[in-house]
Amino acid sequence: MISIKELRKEFTVNDKKIVAVDNLTLDIEKGEIFGVIGYSGAGKSTFIRLLNGLEQPTSGEVFVNDKKFSHMKGESLRIARQKVSMIFQHFNLLWSRTVEENIEFPLEIAGVPKKERKQRVHHLIELVGLKGREKSYPSQLSGGQKQRVGIARALANEPDVLLGDEATSALDPETTDAILDLLVDINERLGITIVLITHEMHVIQKICHRVAVMEDGKIVETGKVLDVFQNPQETITKRFVSQLTGVEDTLPTLETIFQHYPNGSLIQLTFVGQTTEEPVLTELIRNFQVTASVVHGNMNQTKDGPYGTLIVHIDGETKQIHDALQYLQSIDVKAEVLNNGSTNNE
């Protein structure tokens, strides 16, 4: 569906060259919800503008549905971009137009006949849950309703790809979840490929099939969301994962915990899928003659299944602790020994 090869974008600011996207290669499959996450300045927004042709690359190629978007110009680019739509952080609605007129606007530009426009707008209003608000103006809508208008407008030309640039970051948590649920529904009903640019790990966790982590214009890590959660490789990825697990908030207290339990081991356990439902600590205590105290715990649900973490203090004989850790690995529970705020793979 989307193939990106050695993509690079340079800007010159005050005679200084800035590389916003640096040799980026990535493939996004048809019909998946793909997340790109990174902190401010990572190059995410430039990347998404390269995807829909708003920016042209310094070098490299972008293919969407076997069409080469990179370096496409004029009328051919305008027509191609009708199949790659955007939803925006701040909605970008026309304030002098009603809900239905906003949704109809791209159809007018595309020259769609009036009768067909009206039919499609009616269908889209139903799809995004705005029935009864057709004649309302943006100033009369909540933030979530405005974004629903933005989504309906983006779908007006029946695109193959829907791009979201921080599409939920201006919304409260409850509204964010409602919009994310709507995007999942659209993805499943229409089979549309969705690419979400975000700095919020919750967005990735809730609806994405795969994720790419951006830093300094590069993709530093990519994979299935559950795999990345279970085994993050890069420091920045670990920081994002810790936003959900809460481990980062717990680590400063580890030195204090070790002062109270100098002879034990503090273990971070990672559970995925079925193991989240297993009585793991009960088995440790029963079979290995150790004591186990939970210091911190968290459970999250991803698109592909549950993911949980526990920080546990385990005390007992050295051999018993070693055997307990071997048992955890045998049942696919990842165990890391924490030592004064740092981690070492066991």
Contact indicator for 309, 244 with CB cutoff of 8 Å: no
| pTM of the model as a whole | 0.80
pLDDT at res. 245: 62
With CA atoms as reference, report the closest residue to 165 among 66, 38, 57: 38
Domain boundary pick from 242, 270, 292: 242
pLDDT at res. 299: 72
Tell me: the pLDDT tens digits for 294-314? 877 777 777 777 777 777 888
Q: Any residues with CB less than 8 A from the CB of 27 and at least 6 apart, and which? A: 2, 3, 4
The burial class, CB within 10 Å (0-12 / 13-18 / 19+), for 256 is exposed
pLDDT at res. 29: 95
Alpha carbon 127 to chain centroid distance? 23
All residue ranges of the chain with pLDDT < 50 are 252, 340-346
User: Which tokens is 11 given?
Assistant: 């800007």
Same domain, 218 and 265: no
pLDDT at res. 124: 97
With CA atoms as reference, report the closest residue to 53 among 30, 76, 29: 76
Same domain, 223 and 294: no
Same domain, 258 and 138: no
pLDDT at res. 116: 95
Rounded to an integer, what distance in angstroms lies between the CA atom of residue 106 and that of residue 91?
A: 15
pLDDT at res. 96: 95
Same domain, 218 and 160: yes
pLDDT at res. 254: 60
Question: Position 123: which residue type?
Answer: H
Determine the structural domain holding residue 327 and report its residue range.
247-345
Same domain, 180 and 275: no
- Bridge pairing between strands 33-37 and 193-198: parallel
CATH assignment at residue 324: 3.30.70.260
End-to-end CA distance of the chain: 40
Domain boundary pick from 209, 225, 242: 242
pLDDT at res. 283: 80
